[in-house]
Amino acid sequence: MKALVLQQDKTLTYTDVPNTSGTKPSRPVTIKVAAAGICGSDIHRGFEGGAYHYPLIMGHEFAGTVETAPADCGYARGDRVTVFPLIPCRSCLPCQTGDFAQCVNYDYLGSRCDGGFAEYVDVPTANLFRVPDHVDIVHAAMTEPCAVALHGVRKLSIKAGDAGVVFGGGPIGNIVAQWLRINGCGEVIVVEIDPEKLAIAAAMGFTTVNPRSGDPVAAIAKLTGGGADRVVEACGLPLTFLQAVRSAGRFGEVLFLGNINGDFTIPQKDFSDILRKEITIRGTWNSKVTPAGKDDWSTVLQYMDKQLQVAPLISHTPPLSDGVRMFDAVVGRKEPFNKVIFRL
């Protein structure tokens, strides 16, 4: 089969690899990949020395159809599915409570083992989610980032009419903004410097703030009458982590969702404000697939292509055979891009 293979750091090839279907008892279902998205973590993994091993087939955001499956597993050839990429050990204490993202001995499609940048990938039956008829299969490849965003937003105590702020207008930030609105926030402000991402956010009904036009903290204070109720940092920059804290109003909540790149220091005055304003700060990672039916993934698929819109965020849908060039363009910022999803 064909796959986009990370041979070593900064070296991708589109090449033939052995099809291992049916050789992994713990992953008995073979998925024919239809679409697979590039995540920011793929940049770190492939071009910043972040891979666990080489060679590696990256890609943990994907959807497709069942190619082969055990007769008694509940899935049949042709079923449309998306895949939770974290493979828990199901024996440690967090696994016993359904908190698989806290598993102490997990595997992970696209990072610790081969993932979705290939024609086929083998997965555990328990990691499958059916894609509803109303969801476009390319959009279904964004279930994972949508679930990550929802998992974080669900940690916030949103009340109807709250003022929400998201630092970062890229795919994950825009999705967070949508979840804030869906869950009851009145005005949602998106802070972003990229004019195209700002335009997308504005077209979707969000208030936008460009830090290049002035202090975003002051702008947020003016728009909200003193500070926001719910603030989400989705950039991963030390500056925006601090700005997120400064943007929260009295009794506000701050959610740190972005993987930080650098050290984050809180000055004494800002720390004092956290105490005096009684601000709550939360962290989040990954998503949750329990309890069944109410989990993050099932909820995403229920809302996707309805109240939750991902189509405006997709800027490129190249074939996987164009993967080497596409990654080079993304890493080198050689052209404007938002969400890139390979079609297979």
Q: What is the pLDDT of residues 257-313, one digit of tens each?
A: 998 888 989 999 999 999 999 999 999 999 999 999 999 999 999 999 999 999 999
Question: What pLDDT was estimated at residue 173?
Answer: 98
Backbone φ and ψ for 316, nearest 5 degrees, come out as -140, 140
Per-residue pLDDT band at 132 (split at 50, 70, 90): very high
Label residues 125-155 b or e (16+ Cβ within 10 Å = b). Answer: bebbbbbeeebbbbbbbbbbbbbbbbbbbee
Give the architecture-level CATH label for domain 2-146+287-343: Alpha-Beta Complex (3.90)
Between the two ends of the chain, the Cα-to-Cα distance in Å is 12
Q: What does the pLDDT look like over 25-58, one tens digit per residue?
A: 899 999 999 999 999 999 999 999 999 999 999 9
Q: State the burial class of residue 53 (Cβ atoms within 10 Å of its Cβ: 0-12, 13-18, 19+).
A: exposed
| Size of the chain in residues | 344
Integer Cα distance of 148 and 115 in angstroms: 18
In the chain, ranges of CATH 3.40.50.720 domains: 156-283
Q: Which amino acid type is present at position 172? A: I
**pLDDT (average), residues 76-84:** 98
Tokens of 335: 């052209």
Q: What does the pLDDT look like over 161-196, one tens digit per residue?
A: 999 999 999 999 999 999 999 999 999 999 999 999
In the chain, ranges of CATH 3.90.180.10 domains: 2-146+287-343
Integer Cα distance of 328 and 341 in angstroms: 15
pTM > 0.95: yes
Backbone φ and ψ for 116, nearest 5 degrees, come out as -90, 0
Give the architecture-level CATH label for domain 156-283: 3-Layer(aba) Sandwich (3.40)
Question: What pLDDT was estimated at residue 24?
Answer: 83
Question: What pLDDT was estimated at residue 282?
Answer: 98
Chain CA centroid to CA 109, Å: 14
Per-residue pLDDT band at 123 (split at 50, 70, 90): very high
The mean pLDDT of the chain is 97
Instruction: Name residue, tokens 């390319």.
Output: 138
